[in-house]
A and B are shown apart, each in its own frame.
Chain A
Amino acid sequence: MTSTADKATTQAVETVSLTIDGTEVTVPKGTLIIRAAEQVGIDIPRFCDHPLLKPAGACRQCLVDVAAPDREGNVRPFPKPQASCTMTVMDGMVVNTQHSSETAQKAQEGVMELLLINHPLDCPVCDKGGECPLQNQAMSNGRTETRFIDVKRVFEKPLSLSSQILLDRERCILCQRCTRFSKEIAGDAFIDLQNRGAMQQIGTFNEDVLEFDGYEPIGVAAEDESGRAFSSYYSGNTIQICPVGALTSASYRFRSRPFDLVSSPGISEHDSSGSAIRTDHRRGKILRRLADNDPVVNEEWITDKDRFAFSWQNLSDRITRPLVRGEDGQLHEASWPDALAAAAKGLRAALTGDEAQGAAVLPGGRVTLEDAYAYQKFARTVLGTNDVDVRTRTASDEEIAFLGSSVAATGMGVTFADLEKAPAVLLAGFEPEDEGGVVFLRLRKSVGSQQVFTVAPFLTRGAEKLDATLLPAAPGGEGKALAGVKGSTEASEALKADGSIIVVGERLAGSPGAYTQALALAKRTGARLAWIPRRAGERGALEAGALPTLLPGGRSVTEASARSAVAQAWGVDALPEAAGRDAASIIAAAKDGKLDALILGGVTPSDVTGDLSAAIERTGFVLSLEVRRSEVAEAADVVLPVAPPSEKSGTFVNWEGRLRGFATAIKTDAMSDHRVLDILARELGVHLGTGTVGEVSQQLGALGAAAAGERPAAPKVDAVKIDAKPGADLVLASWHQLVDEGALQDGEPYLAGTGRTSVARLSRKTADAVGLKDGLVTVSTQYGSLELPVAITDMIDGVVWVPAKSPGSWVAQELGVEPGARVTVKGGM
């Protein structure tokens, strides 16, 4: 299926043959006995063993009887049973597991008895009860009766490691899966083994806090290995891999039992990685989400946001019936036919008449492929405009040229596996830990064998964990920085190695010439290019053509042949010729009263730099397709309820270009955006043909990718030099942290507590020039200001960094500018 699989089959693999329980098995050399046994369907009990973690041999539950040939070739038994999770196979080895060896059976029973000595009998109150490997294996491989009559060890319970993660040390069997995960995979070591012998336990680090450095979480937190407050975006995975109930989450605590839950596979709606998740629900209510196993994408890990941020879908402000603004100016519940008629009337008024100024569509970046396709088809065939843009963020024409020429409809490009294997990776306008989700984990997997360069104003803690080299650049100056990667610079030399990758993020849109330079750098070094946006729907929307100057399949609106190809496929006479306006221009036009109608999907005004609320106010007719009574819905004229991701099926296209289809987890009456637009179009007398996912994928398949000459030309924009100097006027740097106050994280206080405290970052020199008062600064523009505590950071001078939407730091709403803009910074409040 993938290139990895192809290579594995073509390479000659050295194999060894051994016998397990009398069954001959041939496996690649270096395979662990426990894995070889799995291949022939022999189950060996285990706790510490995890296929994605290094072998530890900590729990000793997997003891088996092993005999191996000695130097003369005589098969001789080992004197004692061996841990099958740490011993690799050997030619001629004879392994007897508990199924065929009494020694192994007795050894396993003994280990189980030891593990249970201090394990409390609190299964009825334990969250793991019913899906607990210890419970199950105590039944299958333990003694039938206990001989232990003494008092069990007691600890204070539970210990809050963070506002989300709770540790119950009594239940711990010291398998070290959690500590190994946090050290090997996430890089946020926060708990470790303490003491020895019978007193051994998992505990938190107790050193004094080293210094305030701005990565502290909002809620309670234990200290991590470095003495800082523990803060990790991946800590939820430790709960899932804990083989007992020692680690539990505050949000799922005591909420349900495994036998109550219906599990549905799905795809996370939180980032562009398209992580596979499992949604567990009871009586139509989601109770938890877990990572699903998808070796080519997220392996078995997801971010805490993927795992815990789901309650937004079922908060009390959920809309289940259409709303229409009545004569009294209030929104009233209406029937579907009435609401559709009202919506059609409003849109028709905007499209007909001599003074009609037309309509525009802003679907928002969280749409599925099908929804994005329906939005843009609706705009182009029903509204007769190209004014459709999912990018309610920093955007530029250069970006569209880049996306249209190099990303859209190019199929699978760089993959997760490629990222992992790349000898060198250059990141530009992209912070893997904050904006990439599990991309960070893949990069971290290769620390030591991979060189990482990051074009950023400073090295974040995430970048430090990747052992990255900083190529300093002020926001807006990334183009020049990328142009500087040439000749015999370290980065340039490293990128020339075969398989190197340049990762560009969506923030480069705010940096003129950066995409042009990234393309040039890729050409210069031979490195491959990957575009990793932040939101889940961006890549799908690009494929579907929900951009003002791109049609489906990467076709340019300005190419007549591209237009006619799409028009033919859709069975319409012609498509609108005029290039559409981008989101910022649409909002600006609406604000000036130059739009008669606006269709809004999942757009949050506080995320948009332009004044969207004012734009909605001025626009004659606003139609909102919403899940909740959001700010947009409250201000709209007609609100049509749509399904949240768990209640619909569809496809997210992840940044690799991989189609990540998902089925409905919870069946309700709620309709997906594409279906709502289909029936609305019917009301307006147009057959959109987007009623089902199948119809849309059929149309997308028929359209295919752009033919030669139908794509936009590659961008050619000059990079600009950013003059960032310490003083009162600083360049604003900002991006979204993974856990912040985004709309999809509403209603989840335990997760919010693991988000990082908002700080403004300044270099020592800049801070001195600004003059701090009480460690606080005020960052202001003509629109507003932010007051934040300062974290002195080793970063380039003349730049101030603030989080984009963390508590007390809503940049788009409060400052009204995009990163790269000049802001005034002064000390104190």
Chain B
Amino acid sequence: MTDSDDVWKVNRERDGAAEKFESNLPEPGPVGKVFAPVAGFGVTLRNFFKPTVTEQYPDKRDTAMPRYHGRHQLNRYADGLEKCIGCELCAWACPADAIYVEADSNTPDAQYSPGERYGRVYQINYLRCIFCGLCIEACPTRALTMTTDYELAGPTREGLIYEKQDLLAPMGKDMLAAPHPMVPGTVDDDYYKGDVLKVVEEQVDWVRENRPEDETLPENRVSEAARGK
């Protein structure tokens, strides 16, 4: 090894090669000196008597804190209409370019959200998402929120691009699956203000007429008891 290869030479010269290491800790007393070789076991011994914190995942799955940044969810109004209007503000806010949205017009035959516009395509790529939550802050209708679901792993790349049906909130107890008309006499603003609180008979009738097989119709709904069996 030549001098020029010795990269530590400069440091050694600066620090003084022969300088002796001096500890800042106080010198142990005579008893301390006796126990010094086994002092490290003290930590082990102390922990014998503390409660265990090991998570038994996946045998036991703990819930994350309520504000945990987990998988996203596209919410619905009380009558089952989607809150997402396909405005793409989430995609705009996303620093990782993980969200892809395509909007479309609601039509009288297919009303998915209140007002004129709904999100036809909604994708979140969880290989890109950094769970920063900026999309949640950007959403003007509170359509997009985050759940506490943290189990986001999978064997394929495609599988980690979540589509709209993967992200939509599950139907609530009395909700009616979209598409169906808005509550008669309301405009989109009433929904935004939170004035629509439940499904009305006209909406149920519309779905009954257009999709009699729909599982969210009262007559087709499987009761909790039946589901249990």
Q: Which residues of A contact B (CB under 8 A)?
A: 124-125, 129-130, 157-158, 253-257, 259-260
Question: Contact at A254–B92, with CB atoms within 8 Å?
Answer: no
Instruction: Mark interface residues in B62-100 (1 if CB within 8 Å of A CB, else 0).
Output: 000000000000000000000001111101100000000
**8 Å CB contact of A254 from B91, B116, B141:** B116
- Cβ of A124: which chain B residues have Cβ within 8 Å of it? 85, 87, 89, 140-141
Q: Are A259 and B92 in contact (CB under 8 A)?
A: yes
21 A–B pairs (Cβ distance < 8 Å), ordered by A: A124-B85, A124-B87, A124-B141, A125-B85, A125-B115, A125-B116, A130-B92, A157-B116, A158-B116, A253-B105, A254-B103, A254-B105, A254-B116, A254-B117, A255-B102, A255-B104, A256-B102, A257-B92, A259-B92, A260-B88, A260-B91
A254 to B91, CA, bound (A): 15
Contacts of A256 in B (CB 8 A): 102
* B86 interface neighbour in A157, A254, A259, Cβ under 8 Å: A254
Residues of chain A within 8 A of B87, CB atoms compared: 124-125, 129
A577 to B209, CA, bound (A): 75
Which bucket holds chain B's interface residue count? 10 to 19
How near does chain B come to A136, taking the closest CB pair, in angstroms? 15
| 9 nearest A-B residue pairs (beta carbon) | A124-B87, A254-B103, A125-B117, A124-B140, A257-B88, A254-B117, A125-B85, A254-B105, A254-B104
**How many Å lie between the Cα of A577 and that of B88 in the bound state?**
64
Q: List B contacts of A129 (CB < 8 A).
A: 87
Q: Secondary structure at chain A's binding surface: helix, strand, loop or mixed?
A: loop
CB proximity of B74 to chain A, nearest CB, Å: 15
How far, in Å, is A158 (CB) from chain B's closest CB? 8
What is the CB-to-nearest-CB distance from B114 to chain A, in angstroms, rounded to a whole number? 10
How far does the alpha carbon of A256 sit from the alpha carbon of B140 in the complex, in Å?
Answer: 17
* Complex contacts, A260 vs chain B, CB 8 Å: 88, 91
Q: Using CB atoms, name the residue of chain B closest to A253.
A: B105
Bound-state Cα–Cα, A124 to B105, Å: 13
Give the chain A neighbours of B140 by CB distance below 8 A: 124
Distance in Å: Cβ of B124 to nearest Cβ of chain A: 16
Of A253, A254, A255, most buried by chain B (CB within 10 Å of CB) is A254
Q: Which B residue's beta carbon lies closest to that of A168?
A: B116
Within the complex, what minimum Cβ distance (angstroms) separates A101 from chain B? Answer: 35
Q: How far is the CB of A166 from chain B (nearest CB, A)?
A: 10
Q: Which residues of A contact B88 (CB under 8 A)?
A: 257, 259-260
CA distance A130 to B92 in the complex (A): 10
Query: Which single residue of chain B is at the shortest CB-CB distance from A125?
Result: B117
Contacts of A257 in B (CB 8 A): 88, 91-92
User: What residues on B are CB-neighbors of A253 within 8 Å?
Assistant: 105
B92 / chain A contacts, CB cutoff of 8 Å: 130, 257, 259
Chain B residues with CB below 8 A from A254, complex form: 86, 103-105, 116-117
Q: Which residues of A contact B115 (CB under 8 A)?
A: 125
Identity of the chain B residue whose Cβ is nearest the Cβ of A129 in the assembled complex = B87
CB distance from A747 to the nearest CB of B (A): 17
CB distance from A256 to the nearest CB of B (A): 8
Q: A158: which B residues are within 8 A, CB to CB?
A: 116
Q: In the complex, how many angstroms separate the beta carbon of B142 from the nearest chain A beta carbon?
A: 12
Which A residues lie within 8 Å of B105 (CB)?
253-254
The residue on B at minimum CB distance from A260 is B88
Cα distance A255–B102 in the bound complex, in angstroms: 7
